[in-house]
Amino acid sequence: MNKGPLRIHVLLSVAALLSTLPVGLKALEPGEQEYVKRGEPQRAGNYWEERATCDAPAREGGKLIVRAGLGSISVKPGASGRVGCQIRLRAYTKNEAEARRYFANYDLSLRPHEAGLYLRGDFREEQHGARSFGADFNLTVPLKYSLDLETKGGGIEVGDLEGELKATTAGGDIRAGNLRGPVRVETAGGSIRLGNIASPVEARTAGGSIRVGEVRGPAALETSGGEIVAGMVNGALQAQTAGGDLVLRGASGTIEAQTAGGQISIGESGGNIVAQTAGGSIRLQGARCEVEVKTAGGSIDLLQVRKAVHAATAAGSILAQVDADLKTFAASELKTSGGDIQVFLPANLPITIDAAIDMAAGHKIMSDFPLNIQGDRVTLFDGQIFGAGKLRGEGKLNGGGEVLRVRTMAGNIEIRKLDPQTLEQLRSRQQSFWKRWQEREEGRGAKSPE
């Protein structure tokens, strides 16, 4: 009997079926199915160890999902079209029988998933003494591959990849290199360090520092305790810490920066800036839009301000360099409860000055522009205006314009013309600050673990 036509029909049907399977199941050649191979437990000093390997075909653009009950996870780019892993399991006991029970109860599986592949490592049932167990997952994926990583206890480290990254750990540091896809990482206790990201970033930690390179998209960075450092962000930037410094190189969009105790340094911004600290200085450079800054105790330096600015400190000096014209400048206020205020203005800027010292004893108002200065028991000495009580200076410069309100409880006020020499000094000081910052960050990077 001739079975040729029937055989051809069956083969065609199988081929048609394979063409409809999900990405993770499609086009698996004989002998290329995903697998997990576990070794025999071996004694390693005061504990027992079991090593396992896994391998599976993987298409570019897929995703690896990892769910680890505990343990560290490390992912690096590897061979194209493959996902591989080297897994090390540890049972911290000298008793072989007890160690084998740990390993036997630990499920380690790799299976296809509609997005790509799913790797699980956890106890099948609640394990008494699970804290005496450890695991390390060392994985390789194609360069263009996305990751969804989760561990209930351990660090996460990811190399340079072109996919997206989602990583969560209940306790441990998160490290990642340069990534092209969106990034969302969170740790319940540990620091976060990311390279340059070509997409939006969200990074949160319940306790630790956050450092990220340049970001091509918006960024939201939050920690309950630690400093936040970020490179240039192409989008809006939110940075919040319950205790630590904020050093933000700049953003093309709005910047919201808040710390319960630390300094704030911000570079150029294309959007509005709102910055607040409960205790520390604020330094800002190159704000193209409105600025609102406040500190409960520290100095404020504002350079190249182009629009409205509202700055207040409970105890510290204020320096403001206005780089605006009649069309851009808007009503502004500089206020300190105890400190000096220096304002540098373009010589041709139409603006109205309203300056006052509430307790002027021993303090003075100095201006390169003509101001009408009045106050209690005002005296003229060596070309300077002094007052014993409240001292006030008003004037419409270049015909007048929007009002700049300047207030200090007890300090000097200076209104100066911005000449080329002063401008160069201010720029040089700011450039020195960012240069020192860059050198510090490069030094930190050199010391970071691979």
Domain ranges of the chain: 30-190
Nearest to 233 by CA among 216, 247, 256: 216
pLDDT value of position 2: 47
pLDDT value of position 37: 95
pLDDT in tens, 99-119: 999 999 999 999 998 889 999
The burial of 443, by beta-carbon neighbours within 10 Å (0-12 exposed, 13-18 middle, 19 or more buried), is given as exposed
- CB crowding 120-152: b at 16 or more within 10 Å, else e: ebbeeeebeebeebbbbbebbbbebbbbbbbbb
Give the dihedral sign, CA 236/429/299/312: negative
Give residue for tokens 């004037």: 395
pLDDT value of position 155: 97
Alpha-carbon distance 213 to 221, whole Å?
12
Q: How confident is the model at residue 31 (pLDDT cuts 50, 70, 90)?
A: very low
Residue 28 has pLDDT above 60, yes or no: no
Q: How confident is the model at residue 444 (pLDDT cuts 50, 70, 90)?
A: low
Bridge-based pairing state of the strands 413-417 and 255-259: unpaired
Give residue for tokens 């653009």: 61
Mean predicted confidence (pLDDT) in 27-32: 43
Using CA atoms, how far residue 87 sits from 8, 95, 225, in Å, is: 43, 22, 33
Q: What is the pTM of this model?
A: 0.86
pLDDT in tens, 46-80: 999 999 999 999 999 999 999 999 899 999 999 89
